[in-house]
Amino acid sequence: MTRTKTKPTTTPSYRSHSSAVAEWRRRRASIRRQLLRPPPRLSIAEWADRYRIVPPGTSPEPGPWRTDRVPYLRGIMDTLSDRRVQRVVAMLASQTGKTEVALNAIGYYIDQEPSPILVVQPNEKPMAEAFSKDRLAPMIAHTPALRDKIKPARAKDSGNQVLHKVFPGGYISITGANSPAGLASRPIRVVLLDEVDRYPPSAGAEGDPVSLAIQRTANFAWTKKIYIVSTPTIKGHSRIEREWERSDQRRFFVPCPECGHMQHLRWGGPGEPGGLKWEKSEYRDDLPHHHGDVRRGNTVHHTATASYECEQCRALIPESAKTWMLRCGQWRATNPDGQFPGFHLNALYSPWVTWQSLAEEWLEKKDNPEALRTFINTKLAEPYEERGEAPDWQRIYERRESYPMGRCPEGVVFLTAGVDVQADRIEAYVWGWGYDKESWLIDHVVIPGDPYNPETWPGLTELLHRSYPTAAGETLPIARLAIDTGYAQETVIDWARKVRDPRVMLIKGDHWKNWTIIVGSPSRTEVTYRGRKTGLQLWPVGGALIKQETYGFLRLSAPVDGQPYPPGWIHLPMVDEEVVQQLVAEDLVTRADSRGFTVREWVKHRPRNEALDCRVYARAAAEQIGLSRMERPAEPKQQRPAQPETEERPIRVTDVAPRRRGARGGDWLDIPRRRGGWL
C-alpha cells in the first residue's frame, strides 16, 4: 500500500502576521474614535435648521424650521450660542419671531447641552400655562430629537407636567413673575425672561422678579445664559429699555438695491430722509376708490404704494426687494462701549407684516393717543415718550363751542355723571359720550352743604333722575352715576343704599392697577357674620390711565375746512376759566419710592381739580357701560321694493304649521301636561 504524500501547509511569515494585527488595531481605533467622538458642536440656528419642526397652528409657516426665512434671527441665536456671552438683550417688535428664538434655545439645550432651564412669563395664569401648552408642548411633540427625551404626560410621576418637564441631564421650569416661589429655588443655568416690561414691580416681599431670576444662575458663574426679551412700554420706565441702553445696541443694517448704502430700517417722518413713504392726493368725488386708499379729511393716502426711501440716494425701494435685503443684512453695534450684546428690531423687517398694513395701521391709530402708544411699542419696538405735562389751558379755553349747557348736541349716545364729595359741597359733571370716544360736557352741578348733613343728599338724588333734551327732540337720562368714596365713605354708601338705584356706581382709586386697567373687578363694601361679604359693590378705577388718555385727547389738533372731529375729541361749552384750569390741574411726575424703584404719579399744580376728577369718574362709568366696545351701526341696506298686493306670495311652512308647545305664550317646558303637576 502506497502512502499519498500531502503537501505541507505554509506557515505565514512574521511580517504578514504583524500587518494583519496592525490593520485590525487601526480599525478598532477608528471604530472607538467614532463611538467616543462627541457629537458635532452646533449653534442654536444650526440645530433648529437640522432638527426642529414647527407645528401647524403655531406659526404662519409650519414644517421644518428655516432660519433663512428670518435671517435677522440668526445673529441673535448665534450670539446665544457663543460661550463667551452670558447675557443677551433683545428689544423686538411683535411678529418678528422673538418667541421662536426662545423656543429654539430651549430645544437646543434639551438636546445638545442638557441643563436646568427657567422660563419666566409675566404671570403664571394664564401666560405661563399658555406658553407651555400652546408653544412648548407642540414643539416637543413634533420634533423627533425632543420627543424621545421627554416622556408623555400620562402619569403624575412621568416628569412631564404643564409647568415642569424633566429630561436626561436637566429640566425646564415655567413660572410667572408674580410667583416668588418659582423664582427663589434651585440653581438654574439658562434663564429666559419673556416680556419683562409686563412684569409686576415686585414679586412679593422678595423684590424685583428679574433680579430674583438672575440670582438663580450664581452657581453657573462661567456657563450661564440669560436671555431678556420684550417689547418696550413707557420711555424712562421700561425694563427692556434700561437693558438696551447698557448693551452694545446692535441694529440690523440692510443694503439699498440701487446704491448699496447700508442702513437700518426705521419709520421716519414726512420731512425726514429715509423711512416708509407712500403717495397722497387730494380727495375728489369724481375719482375712483382703489384698494389701499385711506381718506383722512381732504387727503387720500394710497397705502398700496408704500415703499422704503433710501436715506442716501432717496430711491424708493419696493417691498418685493425686502427678502433680498434681509439675506444681505448684518448686525452692527452702534454702542461699542456696551456691556453685553443687545438687539433692536421693528416690524418693518418682518416677513409676515407688509408695509402697506403698517401704513394703514398708522393712519388708523395716529390720532388716538392710546392706540398710537400701542403701535409705537409693538410695531416700532420703541418706548413711548409720555407727555405728562398738562396741556395749555388757554388753548383749550379758546376752542370752546357755542352749544348750550344742559342740552345734548348731535352725536351724544348716552350720559354718565362723575361726582366728587368735598367737605363743604358735592360737585357733579355730566358728560355725553359718542362713537370713537368722542365726548361732550353737558352739565356742571354744585350742591352746597356738609356731606354729613342728610339735607345735602336730596340734590344728588334729583340729579340722578334728571333727563336732558337732545337735538332730535327726545330726552336722555343719566345711564350711570359714578361717585368717589374717598371722602365720607360711610355717608356715600348710606346714600347709595337708600336710593337703591342700579345706575349708582361706587368707585375707589386703585393705585396698583391704575396703569393697566380703567375699571377693575368690584368688591363688596360690607362684611357680616363669619366674614361673609355682602352689600354694595365697590369698583376700583385706574385714574392715572384715564388722565393720560384725557390729556392726549385735549392735545388733538382742531379740524379745519369742515373736516370731521378726530376720535376722542373733547367738546366744551362756554364754561368759565376755572373749569378749564381744573380740567388740566395735574402733571405727571417721576420719583423714586422708598425701595429705590421709579414710580409715576399725578400731582396737582393748583389747589382745585374737581373737573378732572369728575371727568375720570364719568369716564370710568362709560367704560363700565361699554364705551370702548361701542361701534358705529352699519349703514342700512337698501330695501327691496314692496311686492304688489295682486302678486301671489308663495305659501311657507311657517304659515300653516301649528304652534309648538313650549313657544312664546305656551308652556316653558316643551313637554305635554300630565295630571298631578308638571313633574
Please, are residues 99 and 135 in contact by the beta-carbon 8 Å criterion? yes
CATH of residue 123's domain is: 3.40.50.300
pLDDT in the model for residue 589: 73
Residues 262 and 240 in one domain: no
Kindly state whether residue 480 falls inside one of the protein's structural domains: yes
Cα 364–Cα 368–Cα 369 angle in degrees, nearest 5: 135
Residues 138 and 116 in one domain: yes
Residues 227 and 289 in one domain: no
pLDDT in the model for residue 528: 58
Mean pLDDT across 504-513: 72
Q: Above 80 in pLDDT, residue 360? A: yes
Residues 570 and 453 in one domain: yes
Mean pLDDT across 516-524: 76
> Where are the extended beta strands (E) located within 213-333?
225-230, 250-255, 262-264, 275-282, 293-296, 299-309, 316-317, 330-333
Cα 97–Cα 379–Cα 337 angle in degrees, nearest 5: 75
pLDDT in the model for residue 328: 94
Contacts (Cβ under 8 Å, ≥6 apart) of 132: 162, 163, 174
Q: How many CB atoms lie within 10 A of CB 288?
A: 6
* Cell triple for 490: 360711610
Number of C-alpha atoms within 13 angstroms, CB side, residue 440? 26
Residues 72 and 174 in one domain: yes
End position of a domain, from candidates 246, 280, 300: 246
Contacts (Cβ under 8 Å, ≥6 apart) of 586: 390, 547, 602, 603, 604, 605, 609, 612
Residues 148 and 56 in one domain: yes
Residues 335 and 424 in one domain: no
**What single-letter DSSP state applies at residue 234?**
B
Q: How many CB atoms lie within 10 A of CB 637?
A: 6
Of all residues in the chain, the percent with pLDDT exceeding 90 is 43
The whole-angstrom separation of Cα 14 and Cα 591 is 91
Question: How many residues does the structure list for the chain?
Answer: 679
Residues 365 and 442 in one domain: no
pLDDT in the model for residue 602: 80
pLDDT in the model for residue 673: 42
Q: Above 50 in pLDDT, residue 391? A: yes
Kindly state whether residue 507 falls inside one of the protein's structural domains: yes
* Residue 176, strand partner residues: 121
pLDDT in the model for residue 533: 58
**What single-letter DSSP state applies at residue 366?**
T
* Cell triple for 466: 334728571
Q: Above 50 in pLDDT, residue 678? A: no
The pTM score is 0.65
Kindly state whether residue 659 falls inside one of the protein's structural domains: no
Residues 461 and 533 in one domain: yes
61 or 326, higher pLDDT:
326
The pLDDT tens digits of the residues spanning 273-320 come to 889 999 888 877 666 667 778 877 678 888 999 999 999 999 999 999
The pLDDT tens digits of the residues spanning 91-143 come to 999 989 889 999 999 999 999 999 999 999 988 888 888 998 899 999 999 99
pLDDT in the model for residue 48: 93
* Cell triple for 124: 403664571
pLDDT in the model for residue 458: 92
Please, are residues 116 and 189 in contact by the beta-carbon 8 Å criterion? yes
Contacts (Cβ under 8 Å, ≥6 apart) of 509: 484, 486, 540, 541, 543
322 or 12, higher pLDDT:
322
Average pLDDT taken over every residue of the chain: 82
H or E element, residue 99: helix 98-111
Identify the weakest region by mean pLDDT among 179-188, 403-412, 494-503. Answer: 179-188
Residues 299 and 315 in one domain: yes
pLDDT in the model for residue 281: 84
Please, are residues 417 and 428 in contact by the beta-carbon 8 Å criterion? yes
End position of a domain, from candidates 246, 275, 308: 246
End position of a domain, from candidates 215, 246, 277: 246
59 or 172, higher pLDDT:
172
The pLDDT tens digits of the residues spanning 644-659 come to 444 444 434 333 333 3
Kindly state whether residue 468 falls inside one of the protein's structural domains: yes
Kindly state whether residue 360 falls inside one of the protein's structural domains: yes
Mean pLDDT across 62-67: 91
**Residue 429: domain span:** 395-575+610-627
Q: Above 60 in pLDDT, residue 667? A: no
Identify the weakest region by mean pLDDT among 243-257, 384-398, 486-500. Answer: 384-398
The pLDDT tens digits of the residues spanning 571-583 come to 999 999 999 999 9
Cα 652–Cα 654–Cα 658 angle in degrees, nearest 5: 135
CATH of residue 449's domain is: 3.30.420
Residues 264 and 240 in one domain: no
- The count of domains in the chain is 3
Mean pLDDT across 224-249: 90
The whole-angstrom separation of Cα 182 and Cα 124 is 9
Highest mean pLDDT among 183-192, 408-417, 562-571, 621-630: 408-417
Q: What is the pLDDT confidence band of residue 640, given thresholds at 50, 70 and 90? A: very low
Cα 201–Cα 340–Cα 183 angle in degrees, nearest 5: 35
Identity of the amino acid at 64: P
Kindly state whether residue 61 falls inside one of the protein's structural domains: yes
Q: Above 70 in pLDDT, residue 153? A: no
Contacts (Cβ under 8 Å, ≥6 apart) of 548: 369, 386, 388, 588
Q: How many CB atoms lie within 10 A of CB 558?
A: 11
Helix axes 610-625, 543-554, angle to 10 degrees: 100
* Cell triple for 315: 430711491
Residue 24: exposed, middle, or buried by beta-carbon count in 10 A (0-12, 13-18, 19+)?
A: exposed
pLDDT in the model for residue 644: 46
The whole-angstrom separation of Cα 86 and Cα 97 is 21
Residues 64 and 156 in one domain: yes
Kindly state whether residue 145 falls inside one of the protein's structural domains: yes
Q: Above 80 in pLDDT, residue 351? A: yes
Q: What is the pLDDT confidence band of residue 540, given thresholds at 50, 70 and 90? A: confident
Kindly state whether residue 586 falls inside one of the protein's structural domains: no
Strands 425-433 and 414-421 turn out to be: antiparallel
CA 48 remoteness from chain centre: 28
Q: Above 60 in pLDDT, residue 643? A: no
